[in-house]
Structure 1
Amino acid sequence: MIATPLVQVAGPAEQVGLQAQAFAQAAPQAKQPKGPTIAQTNPISYKLLEIKPGKLGRSELESGELATVSWPERLYKQIDFSGVTWRPSPTSLSFSPGGVKRYQVSVWAPEIGVLATVYDREVLSGNESVYKWNPQKFLDDQSQIHELDFDMRFTDGSVQEKVVLPLRLLGLDGRLANDPDGDFDGDGVSNSEEAKSGANPFDARDKGVAKKPLPKLPETTTPTPTPTTSAQPKPQPSSSQPTSAQPKPSTTQPKPSPTSTKPTSTQPKPQSRPTFMAEKYDPYPGELLVRLTPGEEYRSGTPFGSAEVPVRSIRYRGEQGGKKSPALDRALVDATDGNRFVVKAKGLEAFAQAYEREFGNSKPEFERAAKWFMDTFVTHARVEVEYPDNSADAKDFLVGFFGVDERAFSIPTADFDGDGVNNEDEVRLGTNPFSADSKPHEKPRFPITSKSLKPGEVYEFVPSTKLDPNTKFLGAEGLQVSLTKDGNVRVVGSRDRSKREVSFQVWDPLYKELATLYVESDFSDAWSTINVQAGTTFETNVMTQDEVKSGLEIVSTREELERNGVPEWVAIGGDGVVFLNPPRSEGATKGARRYWVRLSNGEERVIKVNVLAPASYAELYSLQYSDVFVRLGHKARSHAPLATVVHGASEFLNQPIPDEAQVSYEIVEGEGASVVAHEGTATDDEQPGMVTFDATNGGLKAGDVVKVVVRASFADESAQEVPVYFNILPHELAGSYEHAYETGRAVLPGRPIVLHRTDIRNVPEGTEFLFFEDVRGNENLAGWQVSVNRDTGNLVVRAPENGARPLDAVVTVAYPDGSSTEVPFHVGVKHGTPDAETFAPKYTQETLIGGTRTSYEMLTPVPKGTSFSIEENAGLDVGVDTQTGRITAVLPEGAPGGATYKVRVRVKYPDGSDEFIDAQLRKKATADDERPRWSDIYVLPGELASTPQARRIPPETTFGIDATFAARGWQVHVDKYSGRLQVLPDASVKPNTKIEVPVVVTFKDGSQRTVKVPAYVRTPRQPSTPTPKETTTPTPSPSTSTPTPIPEPDPAPETGSSAAGWITVILGALGFLVGAGLLALQEIPVVQSNLNHLMRDLGLRR
């Protein structure tokens, strides 16, 4: 198997530390169990674990119980290949109290890009390997089942040796790599087709196309793919004997013998235990693998999904083992977001700084850098969940980091920092693979590739960018070639006449072959070769200064020059001046042109012209766009790009691009942008290169500047990327607001109505609502009268008296930015009974608490569109809901209880009719809730009887007799403060007479309640003359005397009595009290405090 897993048996970190690099220290030797052991009766067996690339898999038990596991003791073998590993994700589950632990295995398979890189290196590169040119062997090995084995100790101290976890890798299609019809990398091409063609079956980017064909494939037979449901390896249970005594397990292990594995009849059965919540629920199912790119934040799903599971706490416990990843910005459980687990990566600069600290400017082996990355950045973040049943679960999220290209750093061809140079090249060349600003130099180009030199003449070939110090020159033997400190190629003309022309290659460490340079040795007295670039102009004098001074001239005629092959783009003057303007097409011809001329001294001499390859259109024409402004919610289009052209030291701005350049355009960056690709796709008003940006998409705001990058490709296959910037302006106000008016309204002829705006959004300050009779849509008012509130936009619409027809018109909304919009409205005409005669709205009388704001609804329905207003407020703080009619009022806190107020409300119906209704508001009184009570009184003629008030009543309550009481022969009195009632019928009152004494109860708030207390006259049984005494209801004592009632002052106006009228009675009563002595005072229920009140009210002193 090519990429086999590094697997960790998971458990609490403080007890288990199995690593692939070293074996864990064995656990303490436990006490040997007596009798059958768990390792014998209930051993652990795992199902086959199959995982797709880059995915997380979690082991499942075939048999056995995790609750019986104590800890794993030993990992037998290291599973690793070429530094590429499957990463473990430990999971532990614990309960307290009880100490039960669960050990499970979670495995993260390597990314498919890693497999693709290994396949390239082992199979396709031609390097010596067991898989060289043999893809089928690679696919077969990749499809094998591999076994991870370790010892497991149980809670009874027994040990099961070499528990086997079978592992196998599946493709993205869920099939094996050696399945001929499978598509492991998901590129639409089967595994067998890619293997036979020389493509990479693990790399979807090649789309099944090979970079180069394979040599003759080895004669191999494709085996039948192993089914994904193959039998599982069976574990071999054992007791806690030394591990050396146990045989090594295989995939076809024999069944355990009866004496060693099957329980006997005397063996104890495994005890059942309750299921804990931590076993039943998984808070983050399937979410243990987190892949982050620089600066990215990950949020898990809500714990337990949509299920409602009670928990005691969910806490983030930090990174496993206390290791802090320098790439981790933050990790937490967000209680404000449903206890989601949140983790965020730092930006690229954190990775770059860590790499700089570790390696500086050194050039480590790529495998070393990849291992450092895994050890430094990849981490486990632990979240612990506690349940109400005291069980707990610990979830370790494996946090891995990927580049801006979403590929792992360990993939050599990936580009982690997105600077266009792959990871392996950056490490090899000593630049920082995590910094886009740190990358190798651009590829140098040589505008001049040939030169004719005199012996000893020095010349420098100047590249477009400085050459790397490690640049080499291949094939330059016999020529002095060196690299200058400025990065140029310095050559010296050869003196060896046997080598008239030397060529050599310039070899760059990164880009390999850069160019082939040609150096010609000129041993004649001919003029120097003129070098000119195709597509440019050049002027020079071929004669030396001495020749010019001597008067030497070129005397060849134009006809002679043409016969000698001088083209039209070459002009030769008699004074030796040569003007060259070779077209771009001349650059395709190599070698020097030789044009012979005749001199005035009779000699003939050659003019040599070397036409160099033309500069690319992308180098000659630097394209630019002007900035574009676009409003939110609209689209905007740029102008076609213009070019800046440089000729020598002159720079020409805003130049058109020549037709021969045949530029085509495409968008390479910028969502929501489109471009006119070329002449064939342009409409009448378009030009190639015009960019249109759509600002109607969400996510934009005023002030943003959107960068769109356009790739301009020229006819010579050169290209350049040109930015165009779109500046986002605010919405045009007219398009930012939607207005509307009430619908379904109809008005009576001759009546006005108010038509309200239904949109509630505020408009910008300075907005005006206007009604113009001459705008389109308002031509046919036909007698309707319309006015509008300029600030609110509400309309007052009056229908004509006669011949009214429905009205359709528009209101103009003018915004402060100068934009405007028109809002339509419709009003119908109602013929029939007015709403005011159809509906009868009313309020019931409401009782309110003084000083408190209270509201209540109307009882009867009214048509939609009815409005309400207060016409008379009765002096109250009162308001009304204009749409529902609900009244809200505050009654004066000092008003007497029971006081009433009449509020008048105007009801305006949708058809324009209206009416007035009254609402009665009453202040709540104490008398509404209090219920004083007296018992019925039974009394004999001539005797005094009394009864107390039997209920608890509020303080400062007073009592009195209603002034209308005038029962003949009766004397009645009520205590003003206590409420005790006394009655005294005289002898004229016949037995069996009944009266009702009206007692008026006055409360602190001024409210009153009248209680009628029945009084009955009994028939005397026998005459007697006992000492007068008061009879207390309900068992009155007969008396032959006729004592006078003991009155108390009662100034309440409802009694109708005065203090003066009672003086005689009071004095008589006092005399009676003195005569009767203490006994009489004790028997008559007039308390001392009431007597004091009575004397004070009458102005008497004791």
Structure 2
Amino acid sequence: MVVAAAALIVTPLVQVAGPTELQVQANAQAQGPALAETNPIKYKLLEVRPGKLGRSELESGDLATISRVEKLYKKIDFSGVAWRPSPTSGADAPRRYQVSVWAPETGVIAGVYDREVLSGKDSIYKWNPQKFLDDQSKINELDFDIKFTDGSVQERAVLPLRLLGLDGRLANDLDGDFDGDGVSNGEEAKKGANPFDARDRGVAKNPLPKLPETTTPTPTSTTMSAKPQPKPSPSSSTSQPQPQPQPQPSSAQQTKPSSAKPTSTSVKPTTTTRKPYMAEQYDPYPGELLVRLKPGQEFRSGTPFGNAEVKVRSIRYKGEQNGRKSPALDHALVDASDGNRFVVKAKGLEAFAEAYEQEFGNSKPEFERVSKWFMNTFITHARVEVDYPDNSSDAKDFLIGFVGEDERVFSIPAADFDGDGVSNEDEVSLGTNPFSPDSTPHEKPKFAITSKSVKPGEVYEFVPSAKLDPNTKFLGAEGYQVSLTPDGNVRVVGSSDKWNHKFSFKVWDPLYEELATLHVESDFSEDWTPINVKAGTTLETNVMRPDEIASGMEIVSTKDELKAGGVPDWVSIGRDGEVFLKPPRSEGGSKGERRYWVRLSTGEQRVIKVNVLDPTPYAEEYKLQYPDVFVRLGEETRSHAPLATLTQGAEVFFNQPIPEEAQVSYSIEGETDASVVEREGTAEDGEQPGMVTFKATGDDLEAGDVVQVMVKASFSDGSTQHVPVYFNILPRQIAGSYNHAYETGREVLPGTPIVLHRTDVRNVPEGTDFVFFEDAEGNKNLNGWKVSVNRDTGNLVVRAPENGARPLDAVVTVSYPDGSSTDVPFHVGVKHSKPDAEAFTPRYAPETLTGGTRTSYEMLTPVPENTTFSIEENAGLDVSVDTKTGRITAVLPKDAPGGAKYNVRVRVKYPDGSEEFIDAELRKKAIADEERPRWSDIYVNAGDLASTPQGQRVPPETTFGIDASFAAKGWQVHVDKYSGRLQVLPDASVKPKSKVEVPVVVTYQDGSQRTVKVSAYVREPRQTAAPTPSTEAPTSTPTPTPSTPAPTPEPDPAPETGSSAAGWITVILGALGFLVGAGLLALQEVPVVQSNLRHLMRDLGLRR
């Protein structure tokens, strides 16, 4: 609403910055009166000058007690845009609730004054400047609820707001000078001039009727209160400036707490003394709240606290408000390398022009609609957050706006944003682009062809003389396939309904309304569907219908017949109906329909109809662009030739060369220290058309400047394009200090990609760019090779063609941030022999590792240089592999059973691109690997019992047993499970001189086992009385079964040999008879318990 816009012009933008919530305060909630009652928030009057952003100050209360703003009762509206309070920090960060208000520019207020007061339109301010001045001097109120840290709520806290002029006085102060033009407000109002427009210097634009006398008393002007600036030390910054007298809000403005009971008048406000937070003492980036940029301009703030030294924990750029970034904003950041300065850069004028074209196209919108769109689209915010050592935080919102080449905002109708001499309002009304100095009024599109006969399902495009507006409508086309193409043509599809094969529709443009009535008729005759192809493109299609193809029908016309029938070289017709078309751009669409007669195998003759459409203008098909160029002060540099982004239908191809037939010529727009290679005939050695040479010798140039040179590209078809080249000015050459190189000796299999690494190890400066230009001097013989480069690391991915591959020699261009560049050559051979994966057999030897210990070991067999390795399957282990050597490092589980085996699979990728998988067997080291238990050979008479002890010290918890496979006939054996003493008893059936090997299985604590074979021999019988045979025989002890699964048993070790123990048994048995009598001699007839024998031997003083 116009009235509301003018009345509330003083407060278009309100924001809230959030509190520092310390844990101590959060836990210090008392049971007494609520904070909303004892310590409510009361704001001082906030007065702001045009184009400035001010922060609120408290008259009473403590920001640290605020939890959040809960409810906004009134939004403030200006030019149709609503602004609301919002926290300046993220949800998880400490916050401080302050309110920031941005006041509009004087030019914006001047535009409203012209429209509401001086234009003569119906308005409450018509011919009444005093009422307008009074309304701009009123105190506006922003009210909202505040929730405190104790949970209480203060309802309708009021922030009073008022607008001051550039002179710090109110608008209705008739002696004041609001716009700063040297003429008082009262004098300008009486003369019919604009008190808010400094350009008129107090002179009225048009004679006006007699204006009402100004009778409103002039209020006393006030001055703005500023936040204290940083001091050298926090202690000195606690003193506050003396507040000046401020108007008090009315009783309706006073705050009231949220409580069921009325507030007691006897309750005194609770005051607490605490040390101020650093966020309350310091103001980062003081005064730098509003950033105004011209297209292509960069803003760089001062240091955060001026010359004061303030300790901070971090300063960071948090992005645009609500995550929205203006499409005209190139970048915004905090440059830590330059004293934490906030930096923001605008895009060039072409970004604004492109956005306008996308939004409004071929239309003439209302200027107010465009102004509102400009504000919603381009005005944005950027935020910088500061964290202090005392855990408090602050945030500074930068309002980022854009002004035109005339340094005025777009919403001023008389301003000239693009600097072409035509005002913004006039350009919008004329249909030209107000952001493009070269734009011309839109032409009314016309159709040369308005009626077309098509086959059912055939696609045809009606091509207008000018691209149609994206909002074009087709009236009467309901039920038919009619649409607008991306090129702005009308696309129709022939109807397959014989009863509705004719239809007409109107083309309705939002600006020119009805453009034409188009007629479409479906042709159901037996002719083939006409083919539409755009000049300068290729098309492959089949003219035959599916039933004709299935019947075996063919085109039998000879080449001579086709040539005689007028078939040009760019048309190829196959026997199976395949038609390949590649019309040159010169064919165009002015020659009408082409008809080429062919003879069929059925004897019939058919015609192939071809419609060649106008080619897309070069300037639309090829969008040129230059990479940024860097040049040192006082030096001269030359850009690369421009590359093009080619758009063909829905496909987009980047970095494409410009075709020779386009015959582009280049020229420099404006006055600048730059020149361009105009065309092919003017290029000298090493030059290419379009290369721009720039001399950074201007006296006004400084390091950090960005100079835009505008190049006009004119194509052979008459279309033109303006292409900017950006020259970044660097301090008074990095190239030459780096010796870049790539791996050598690499060969690749045809059709297989490989990665070619840089071999130089130095880090390159930030901003270095590795680029592979296919049109570079050293890259003209690619012959089917595909090359891409990582622009940051410089590593290459190269792929040889499948067929006819030859060695590749090419170069990578390295561009440094100082504008210097160098070409780095590389060579890749082609491998025609068998792949490396077949020629090499890498393997790992089985490796035994100690559990719980990190161990590494190498591969056994050599592999070619530049072979890489990676783990494919880790078998559940902590295992890694050296990517270059294949060295494996692994940690086996400490609690795994001894002898456990793991197979790790390794991927081997060879330098020729082939690969294979190999296995590495890892085995956990077992106790059985090192222990060597030993028994002496046993010599025994048939029918006698003999034994031998285990002769080595063994680890604790070792057990012994007889392998279950032992089944020697006539032999009884037994081994003590814990001591290992082995007893054998051959019966009388065993022949003398017989020998057996008793397999003794030794099981260790870790579950590993070792089998030792002990030899037992039967003696020749003595010529003595035969002993009484034993009535009992020893029994075999079965092999213990390991309780742990997994490890594979080791192979049986070789048998150990030793001395006989037969004499020992005789001595021990004799001792037994001497001590306990003949009854114990029966022990000879049963297996002897080894532990008892050991005790007896020790008591008798017997030693081995």
> Shared fold by TM > 0.5?
no
Larger-Rg structure: 1
| TM-score, normalised relative to structure 1 | 0.36
| TM-score, normalised relative to structure 2 | 0.36
